[in-house]
Structure 1
């Protein structure tokens, strides 16, 4: 067959005939070259424009199809097939009004045209005019027109109208005649997933693949189901197989999502690039790209990708939620609230994200209603919620256990996983710390001294880092503390877990839990025979994959043990380790430079804004009113939050200028400025955690109110470790009265400061080396039980500084 490049000049008709023959044979590249040669000679040749546009439509090059078919329609406005194909291209580009206008023009020319009427059904479906589409389908079926596409579109229309059973019958009708029909199969899979019938969806695609193992669409659909089942490694395999059989932008888009969810970010980015090369204007690709960008920490650009999809396709709840989540991570809380308000139904994710975003900017208008609804839903077992979003509002250990258990089940993390077991116990215990925070982060600031103090004669210590920051000054400090420090951010979940098992870890310690960048699936996959939750998340994970939680007698008293899925290991003082080497800058600020009155009593709370609830804030306002001239010094998370809090102060009758807001500062300067405060006021239900340690390390007394769940008992744990029990109140009335009394009793406050200064030098709270010995004792007990064939059990650790250093006492 001659190629176009060697054709001798001849008649245009001959070239067109040759191109059409190639087109019919599937030689699209050669056909396109010849069509283009015809058009170079005669740019307005209607037939060549139509055929090139049709070829582009078949190749899913919708931009070229629109351009060529629009020109063809101008050259020959009465050619019905041109108008039909133009309508199809416009519909694929989400130009629904223009698509319908084109197909109406075709019907004006041929009112009985079955292809035009069938195409109009597809246009109506894509334009979300389901009722109109159904009327058109029923008219065509009544006229005796039968086609698989009609029945598929009828099913889609029924589904959009909420008639799932009717929709399923339509798809089943097509599949009974053509079991491998790709559109019917895909739409039924989508319907089954929406109804959470994952096993039925998987059975459907597996049945197709049993007779047609090279059906690319069936493999792609299988990947879709496996993603919903959170079997991400299997989903990657299925989507990869689909692309290997026949690549398309849709299949690459699905592959990128599966790769991203499996933690294989480099390959996910590569799949996005490959998909863009095929069709950069494919709307689902923008969503997939947004998911990848969000996983890489580029939240602002991720939100732009989600927004691009929403502008073209209209409001889809799933994408609105993704956009809101990206905006929350980008600290654009007001925009996140606006996105969530557009959701058609108030899903658990929308409700919890909305409450959290509002709390982050102190937007308390009608906040009691969604908080009560959220807590009520959890109590009734309705919906799956991210446990972190409940921390600031749930003062109830049982409720936090319920939400964690539901979340663990809903995210497929409630499994014991594969547990590697060394043939025999080694001379040294192998322990692995897993975190996204091995950089300048609160967790690492607390742990640095403890990590450095591990006894490498008895322990091999491994660090698995999967955070967004590969290296900074803190990483440089703590990396040498490990026998091996691995940066595994771009590794898949199964690869990290396999590496941990290959190293034959005895104990794996999760430092993240249900916090940002956490990877709970690692532990469901199984990293070590003993798995421990510590420090990052203040509460139970509700999962069978965790054996122990490191706690103390205050954060988890015996009566709360029933609300923890893990066995409780109580450290002798506080569960929280601290770094006695933390530097406090020399006094570099005056009160005036910090915006504080020179002689006023300064209350301080540098907790994040989301922890400040209206009830506690109302107490603060009464405290300020009772202590003339006093000020409240707060951390400024966002300008909107500061403005809202000033507004709430004014509404409570307090001069907004008595609220002073502090920006973010380097840690040593932050600790230095804290010394200008007189008393730290804690929050409830979620206490100060690292911010409490900051204040106490800087020498500032802290007043707390003891809560009923782990996150509301942390400050009390720290104070009791410092023998400052009188600063732990058990009721907000006592909290308020004590805050006022301490401001009016300078001698009492000065005595507390002096005791704190003394305890700061001698207490176990700020002794990272002593904490390391105690924690190692706990690890040895866990390993001893495991290698003796005994199940995990709750126990108390004896202080390394006592007569029985490193001993343990079983408590259950």
Structure 2
């Protein structure tokens, strides 16, 4: 009987194989490790062991397991191809390309290496190389529907819609029920003005397979793209009624709700995650939506997003670049420096975001720079994005208008979905209600999907025309603006929610300009001007793409929307017995360099405290991580204080003696709020546009000495202010009178200077 007894190696390998059959990867990995320990050869274990580890997300371990076998089999196509895949999953893209190129040369007629190579190039943001690789695979197998779809996607990413259509049509011809290809084809057809062809395709498929949910999802997506959310939701709700966890239906339903009903969006994402626990897209969508949620308890939503974000990163480490914006937003908000580092570096992410056209991702990264070269690279990224985004866009023709020299009125437009109760309007309002109606016509354009509030209604009554065009396609928006015959159109929203930056690529006005919403060159070379002042304008002209529309004094003025909140008598230090530094700035500006500077100030001023005045400050995770961050910098974490609040935060400035600005990306609205509440702000003026906003605010409030130009001076200025209670007390007592005596507090002066300059620029 003993001759039938399995050896330890055989027994371990048998268990490993059984575990693989049952998809018990953890057990399989354990059994393979036991087999190797018992003497199993690499031939018996390496490939399957590595694959199991990789499927568990342990990519580095998988590479180490395969490495000795790969070293012995560099001329083996399967082993080389597998190593390339493992390297890609581990995020080691450059090395993956090298190895997959070896695999391709070993078997040039085998499709998988070409496809894997294309996938790596796509992940790196090199879509030209990706398209070339997919085309190479198609030479080997011209009937591969998947390769045609991937090729079409890469070409689409390059902005070559017509060429992409050819590939996508071939993909659908070869695999008419590949709904990923069908969805991409119909969406592209609509974007190039061929919606009728898209609908004809979907109707034909629906007739062939009545009741097929995937076709209904594709139809709903097209309705959503055409600005018909109710029709989209009706179709999706029918699918979900019969299949509550349907992935595609729930994901799209969540998108149709978005910011207009974040609670409904969260419910849809949650159903998708529960029914599809292995879906990266569903989990990513839920984390992102929770992080954007303001209904109910914002802190509870943030904590849940943080918990799920870590789960996402642990479960799908190879997809970290795809989820980077979602994850970085959450980890920035809770100040988790260590987990944030796991999402990648800005240098590694920029190519990926460029390939995907994700302009909005970069807004939160404007402060993640340390050198001039990095700042210039960021400008170049925006320029490349702009050229890609506008590649297939043809300018519209504004209506003919008489020359300004004939005496007609100047026509100025402002485009933003934030022309409502929003910080953008805090500064734009003087221009919208204080202009000279005998000299100027003012047009506003909003795409907000939120109900009209009292501020939006006020603006609509004040301007010549208020165009409210929610969900209108960019091309139609541009055509509508062109009919107003504008001299200058100011874009105020950037790539923030519900705004339409790409409309500017159509040149719907004689001149395009940027202001307020995006504190950097947006990248579109069709935007001629960017509003600056002598302080904000970078000294190095390479740090701007547009020409400066330079105001003589200040780029903003405080409007009547700044509430007359009472400033408490005396200083917080006098009331509480200790000095309190603090910030109300957004945590995405809390860079390591910023935290280093804040900690240096606290070390210089023993006994002082630091107060975080933010919604996130009410979250246990933020408190815990903030304490850990300062402890790492030799500051007692008990010196930190937290007030968690969104809205209604101005009275709490009465708890702060000195505001410490973020760096290098500084505050703007928050600096003005602090000054309005009598709280001096110490700011570091940097080289780039987003690093100089407070320099302008302080200088135009008569407090230019509080803007310094080195970290050492930043710490010294904070200490100097701390040692001067008389100055701080005087500033609190006379804060608003001092502001109103300077350009920052004189909206009428600002408005006149703005329209005088606009008249001069438009007449050139």
> Do the structures match in fold with TM over 0.5?
yes
Q: For residue 585 of structure 2, what is the aligned residue in structure 1?
A: 607
8 Å Cα contact 2:682-2:714 kept in structure 1: yes
Q: Which residue does the alignment assign to 1:302?
A: 265
Q: Is 1:345 aligned to residue 318 of structure 2?
A: yes
**In the alignment, what sits opposite 1:327?**
290
Aligned to 1:459: 440
For the 8 Å contact 1:219–1:239, the answer to whether it is kept is no
2:236 is matched with which residue?
272
Aligned to 2:512, what secondary structure does the other structure show? strand
Let me know the Cα RMSD of the aligned residues. Answer: 4.0
SS of residue paired to 2:413 = strand
TM-score (norm 2): 0.71
Q: TM-score, normalization: structure 1?
A: 0.67
Post-superposition offset of 1:340: 4.3
Do the aligned residues in 1 keep the contact of 2:513 with 2:529 (CA within 8 Å)?
A: yes
Matches within 5 A, 1:572-611: 572-580=552-560, 582-586=562-566, 598-611=576-589
Residue 680 of structure 2 corresponds to: 701
Shift in alpha-carbon separation, 1:566–1:743, aligned structure 2, 3 A: same
Mark the runs of 5 or more structure 1 residues left unpaired by the alignment: 1-95, 98-127, 132-153, 174-183, 786-812
Offset at 1:278? Answer: 8.5
Q: Which of 655, 660, 664 lines up with 2:641 in the alignment?
A: 660
Is 1:392 the equivalent of 2:391? no
In structure 2, relative to structure 1, the CA distance for the partners of 1:245 and 1:266 (3 Å cut) is same
Structure 1 CA distance for aligned equivalents of residues 353 and 237 of structure 2: 42
Alpha-carbon contact 1:547-1:566 (below 8 Å) kept: yes
1:560 aligns with 2:535: no
1:263 CA displacement: 4.7
CA distance in structure 2 between the partners assigned to 1:219 and 1:631 by the alignment? 57
Secondary structure in 2 matching 1:405:
helix
The offset of 1:513, in angstroms, is 0.9
In structure 2, the CA distance between the partners of 1:159 and 1:370, relative to structure 1 (3 Å rule), is closer
Contact 1:674 1:700 in 2 (8 A): yes
Whole-Å Cα distance in 2 between the matches of residues 730 and 775 of structure 1?
Answer: 29
Question: What is the distance in 1 between the residues matched to 2:425 and 2:232?
Answer: 29
Aligned to 2:251: 287
Deviation at 1:740, TM superposition (A): 1.6
Give 1:668-747 correspondences, 5 Å limit.
670-747=649-726
Residues 770 and 414 of structure 1: CA distance in aligned 2, closer, same or farther (over 3 Å): farther
Q: Give the secondary-structure state (helix, strand or coil) at the position aligned to 1:708.
A: coil
Higher deviation after alignment, 156-165 or 745-754:
156-165
**Secondary structure of the residue that 1:325 maps to in structure 2?**
helix
Residues 510 and 532 in structure 1, CA contact (< 8 A), matched pair in contact too: yes
Structure 2 vs 1, CA of residues 233 and 488 (structure 1 numbering), >3 Å: closer, same or farther? farther
Counterpart of 1:430 in 2: which secondary structure?
Answer: strand
Instruction: Give the structure 2 partner of residue 111 of structure 1.
Output: none
Given the superposition, is the C-alpha separation of residues 249 and 508 from structure 1 closer, same or farther in structure 2, using an over 3 Å criterion? Answer: farther
Counterpart in 1 of 2:598?
Answer: 620
Greater Rg by CA? 1
Counterpart in 2 of 1:789?
none
Q: CA offsets, 1:343-367, max 9 Å, x none?
A: 3535644334433322111001165
1:161-240 → structure 2 map (5 Å cutoff): 168=138, 172-173=142-143, 185=145, 187-196=146-155, 201-204=164-167, 221=181, 224-225=184-185, 227=187, 232=191, 234=193, 236-240=195-199
Q: Could you tell me whether the CA contact under 8 Å between 1:233 and 1:494 is conserved in 2?
A: no
Query: In 2, distance between residues paired with 1:381 and 1:587?
Result: 44
Aligned to 1:462, the other structure's residue is in SS state: strand
Checking the alignment, whether the CA contact within 8 Å between 1:408 and 1:414 is kept in structure 2 is: no
The reply on whether 1:450 has 2:431 as its aligned counterpart is yes
Bigger shift: residues 160-169 or 406-415? 160-169
**C-alpha deviation, 1:262, in angstroms:** 5.4
Residue 368 of structure 1: how far off its partner (Å): 5.4
Query: Is the 1:601–1:629 contact (alpha carbons within 8 Å) kept by the matching residues of 2?
Result: yes
Cα separation, partners in 2 of 1:263 and 1:729, compared to 1, 3 Å: farther
Given candidates 721, 727, 747, the residue that maps to 1:768 is: 747
**Distance in 2 between residues matched to 1:261 and 1:535, nearest whole Å:** 28
Q: How far apart are residue 444 of structure 1 and its match? A: 1.2
Which sits farther off after the overlay, 531-540 or 331-340?
Answer: 331-340
Task: Please list, as runs of the form range in 1=range in 2, the aligned pairs for 1:437-516 lying within 5 A after superposition.
Answer: 437-516=418-497
Q: 1:337 to 1:391 in 2, by over 3 A?
A: farther
Q: 1:666 to 1:287 in 2, by over 3 A?
A: closer
8 A contact 1:561–1:568 mirrored in 2: no
Q: Does 1:636 align with 2:614?
A: yes
Q: CA deviation at 1:292?
A: 1.8
Q: Say how many residue pairs are matched.
A: 614
Sort the Cα spacing of 1:264 and 1:708 in 2 relative to 1 into closer, same or farther, 3 A: farther
Question: SS at the partner of 1:365?
Answer: helix
Aligned residue for 2:369, secondary structure, equals coil
Whole-angstrom distance in 2 between the partners of 1:387 and 1:574: 26
1:597 and 1:655 map into 2 onto residues whose CA distance is 22
Q: Is the 8 A contact 1:587 1:673 kept in 2?
A: no
8 Å Cα contact 2:149/2:167 also seen in 1: no
Deviation (angstroms), 1:203: 1.6
SS of alignment partner, residue 430 of structure 2: helix
Does 1:404 pair with 2:382?
Answer: yes
Distance 1:170 1:664 in 2: 60
- Please name the residue that 2:89 is paired with: none
**Would you say the 8 A contact 1:509–1:531 is kept in 2?**
yes
Structure 2 gap segments, 5+ residues each: 1-21, 24-54, 56-77, 79-109, 120-132, 207-211, 294-300
* Residue in structure 2 matched with residue 80 of structure 1 by the alignment: none
Offset, 1:246: 4.2
C-alpha distance in structure 1 between counterparts of 2:468 and 2:399, whole Å: 24
Shift of 1:323: 3.9
- CA distance in structure 1 between the partners assigned to 2:218 and 2:569 by the alignment: 54
Q: Measure the CA separation in 1 of the matches of 2:392 and 2:677.
A: 41
Tell me how far apart the structure 1 counterparts of residues 182 and 560 of structure 2 sit (CA, whole Å).
Answer: 54
Q: Which moved more, 1:339-348 or 1:353-362?
A: 339-348
- Per-residue CA deviation, residues 463-492 of structure 1 (Å, 9 max, x unaligned), is 222224332232233332212223322333
Tell me if structure 1 keeps the 8 A contact 2:153–2:164: no
Q: CA deviation at 1:716?
A: 0.6
| Alpha-carbon displacement from aligned partner over 1:646-680 (angstroms, at most 9, x marks no partner) | 3333444544343222233655xx33432443211
